[in-house]
Amino acid sequence: MKIKEKSVSLSQKVKEKITEYIMNENLQPDSVIPSEAVLTEMLGVSRYTVREALALLEQDKILYKIQGKGTFVNKVPTHIESGLEKLESITEIIESYGYEPGTIWIGIEENLPTKDMVDKMGLEEDDKVVTFTRIRTANGKVAVYCVDTIKRTDTMEKIPQIIEEESMFNYLKEKHGIEPEYAIAEIIPTLPTAEMIKHMKIKENQLFLLLHQVHYDKEGSPQIYSMDYFNTDVFKFIVNRIR
Amino acid sequence: MKIKEKSVSLSQKVKEKITEYIMNENLQPDSVIPSEAVLTEMLGVSRYTVREALALLEQDKILYKIQGKGTFVNKVPTHIESGLEKLESITEIIESYGYEPGTIWIGIEENLPTKDMVDKMGLEEDDKVVTFTRIRTANGKVAVYCVDTIKRTDTMEKIPQIIEEESMFNYLKEKHGIEPEYAIAEIIPTLPTAEMIKHMKIKENQLFLLLHQVHYDKEGSPQIYSMDYFNTDVFKFIVNRIR
DNA sequence: CAGTGGTCTAGACCACAAG
DNA sequence: TTGTGGTCTAGACCACTGC
């Protein structure tokens, strides 16, 4: 059996070629790179493809353009770290810090939705929901208190006692075909609840950041309602903001 | 004198045409819109232009595409509010809430940069910086405690006592040609400092969100170092997160 | 003025979904 | 197989920059 080869688009290849060129020529910040016309000839592709590649490099803040002048190399980016604006699972976030993710299960329960859930998830008041409560750890250290809620559907015959899968995103994708495409998150500074203090052995005055989110799929349907309490001793919250 | 007319691109016009079409046909969520080929004929423009317009509508979450199937209308978005990922001045943020922005000046000072400023702004240790400290109000209510710092340059002969301009962004753009294009912000939950309590008449246990930011211009040079303490009684912090 | 990036056209082939 | 969106080509004119 042959492994499926990921076909890489031409623009991607051109992007890499241009990156190589910048490296090889050792171009310094603010120095100009060859014009689009020149790159078109150099690389033997159309201007469209060159512009696609340049657009990608501009998104990555490798280059910037000034109309009428040219395309220039940007400052060396210490800013490449992706921030909150990128939707990642908590497992991915913990791994991106270089930590080993772990999970301590608190429980899985069937409930009636709260008023806020009904509003934000577009539920009926007599719909049922399932709530997964976990503590996520990073290198064994208590990192996040997670409360994730999804709508109870007919495909869920019985509620599992526990989920083996480390990542909630992976579990929901594989078992229920739920795949979040974007989320709207409210950031709320907060002190731990009594429940959290009991389970997490933390100080009462420890500050947390609550990420109160609703996740949507590509079609814009709400899929997951989650309240994640992040220990700010472990995480830095970065947002890349664009004009 | 004639007001300079902003020439609107064709893709923009096409975008509006398509929006009108969706309204007129009263298309419901998840219903398919005409294919790109059909739109090309309907509107008498090239497919490139149609795709540009569709891309804009997809960004706005008005539409979504599925390869091989078609382009569809998204759920009605209550989610249109722009979040933290959009770089706005505090004046703009306050106005977007429908409040009237105001300013109480604490002072303007020349200082030596802190270690953190030297690192993040790429300064020398004997560079000078100028720090503007203000309280921003929303409908007269204390909203944000702002500490903005920029590098002292030769073009700044003397330090002003106060700045009339409401918006710091506008002031810096007009007086010093500084125009932030993006920013990297760290979000830190925090309690008010003694200084803040003195000036703002707030409770000691009032939770604030500190937005610790460095603003960069298009070329990637750091321009503004700012610490903005937001009163979470006044503001909700929303971030739109994308996969 | 010449050279740059920004926008637009017309046409082609490919990858994917559905009958 | 047909129709969809995804990618790519070749060529054109426009808007802005700097000489």
Q: Which nucleotides of C are covered by protein (CB under 7 A)?
A: 3-12, 15-18
User: Which residue among A66, A216, A219 places its CB closest to the CB of B30?
Assistant: A219
* pLDDT confidence bin for B10, thresholds 50/70/90: very high
The separation, in Å, between residue B36 CA and nucleotide D17 C1' comes to 36
Q: What is the pLDDT along chain A (243 residues), one digit of tens a residue?
A: 333 334 688 999 999 999 999 999 999 999 999 999 999 999 999 999 999 999 999 998 899 999 999 999 988 755 556 789 999 999 998 998 889 999 999 999 999 999 999 999 999 989 999 999 999 999 999 999 999 999 988 766 677 777 777 788 888 887 787 889 899 999 999 999 888 888 888 877 889 999 999 999 888 889 999 999 999 988 889 999 988
More confident call, B153 vs B52: B52
CA proximity to B165, closest of B103, B213, B217, B226: B103
Strand D reaches within 7 A of the A39 CB = no
pLDDT of residue B156: 67
Q: pLDDT digits over B35-68, tens only?
A: 999 999 999 999 999 999 999 999 988 999 999 9
Q: Across the A/B interface, how many CB contacts are shorter than 8 Å?
A: 141
Whether the beta carbon of B59 falls within 7 A of nucleic chain D: the reply is: no
**Do the Cβ atoms of A220 and B186 come within 8 Å?**
no
Instruction: Tell me if B239 and A74 make a contact (CB, 8 A cut-off).
Output: no
Residue B3 has pLDDT above 50, yes or no: no
In whole angstroms, give the CA distance from residue B164 to residue B103: 10
pLDDT at residue number B77: 59
Q: Which residues contact A54 (CB under 8 A, 6 or more apart)?
A: A18, A36, A63, A65, A71
Would you say residue B76 has pLDDT above 80? no
CA A110-A112-A118 angle, 5° bins: 130
Task: Name every chain B residue with its beta carbon within 8 A of the beta carbon of A66.
Answer: 218
DSSP 8-state assignment for residue B59: H
Closest approach of chain A CAs to the CA of B84, in angstroms?
7
- Tell whether the model's pLDDT for residue B183 goes beyond 70: yes
Contact B222, B241 (CB under 8 A): no
Q: What is the mean pLDDT of residues B161-183?
A: 82
Contacts of A16 (CB under 8 A, 6+ apart): none
Using one digit for the tens of pLDDT, what is the confidence trace for A31-62?
A: 999 999 999 999 999 999 999 999 999 998 89
Specify the pTM.
Answer: 0.88
Cβ neighbours of B23 (radius 10 Å): 9
Closest CA to B230 of B76, B124, B88: B88
Residue B79 has what pLDDT?
Answer: 56
All domains of chain A, ordered by start, with CATH?
A: 10-73 (1.10.10.10), 80-238 (3.40.1410.10)
* pLDDT number for residue A78: 56
pLDDT recorded at residue B97: 85
Asked if pLDDT for residue B6 goes beyond 60, the answer is: no
3-state helix, strand, coil in chain B (%, to 5): 25, 30, 40
Residues A81, A238 contacting (CB under 8 angstroms): yes
Predicted pLDDT of residue A166:
79
Kindly determine whether the C-beta of residue B35 is less than 7 Å away from any atom of nucleic acid strand D.
Answer: yes
Q: HSE of A147 in the Cβ direction (CA atoms, 13 Å)?
A: 13
pLDDT per position as a tens digit, B213-224: 999 988 888 999
| Contacts (Cβ under 8 Å, ≥6 apart) of B110 | B128, B129, B130, B131, B152, B159
Is residue B238 within 8 Å of residue B79, measured between CB atoms? no
Residues with Cβ within 8 Å of residue B116, at least 6 apart in sequence: none
A187 touches chain B (CB under 8 A): yes
- Residue A2: per-residue pLDDT: 34
Q: Computed over its alpha carbons, how large is the radius of gyration of chain A? A: 23
B189: chain A residues, CB-CB within 8 Å: 189-190, 207-209, 232
pLDDT of amino acid A62: 92
CA distance B239 to A213: 9
Which one, of A126, A122, A131, A130, lies nearest residue A195 by Cα?
A131
State mean pLDDT over B168-178: 81
Nearest-angstrom CA–CA distance, A107 and A116: 21
Query: Which segments of B85-150 does DSSP mark as H helices, in order?
Result: 90-96, 115-121
Q: Among B64, B213, B241, whose Cβ lies nearest the Cβ of A84?
A: B241
Tell me what pLDDT residue A165 has: 77
Average pLDDT, chain B: 88
Distance CA B214, CA B125 (A): 18
Write out the two tokens for B202: 């707030």
List all nucleotides in chain D with at least one atom under 7 A from a protein Cβ.
Answer: 3-12, 15-18
